[in-house]
Amino acid sequence: MEGGFGSEFGSEFGSGGAGGKLDPGLIMEQVKVQIAVANAQELLQRMTDRCFRKCIGKPGGSLDNAEQKCIAMCMDRYMDSWNTVSRAYNSRLQRERANM
């Protein structure tokens, strides 16, 4: 991710906009996008690390069929588990917000 967080804001929210004023709603949307990207990167990194440790006994120049199947199954299970937890978490958040 070249340029990073600051450069994106600098180009969109610099002094050249509408009178130099910042739109808080637009800034919040940009922050939400950056958080979502960071979360996706972390998910991918964790999944890769765990499945590699689980499935690859001796790293080599290529993966054999058993390793390929193990990686595919591991990644599928990891994503299914993550989606289940994510849905349960979001559901609980909605219930708690409704009870406020």
- Number of domains composing the chain: 1
User: What's the predicted TM-score (pTM) here?
Assistant: 0.63
What integer best gives the mean pLDDT of the chain? 84
Asked if residue 1 is part of any domain, the answer here is: no
Query: Which tens digit of pLDDT belongs to each residue from 66-89?
Result: 999 999 999 999 999 999 999 999
What is the band of 5 on the pLDDT scale with cuts at 50, 70, 90? Answer: very low
Residue 33 lies in a domain: yes
Neighbouring residues of 79: CB distance < 8 A, sequence distance ≥ 6: 47
CATH at 63: 1.10.287.810
Q: What pLDDT sits at residue 59?
A: 87
CA-to-CA dists, residue 38 to 5, 16, 33, 64, angstroms:
11, 28, 9, 32
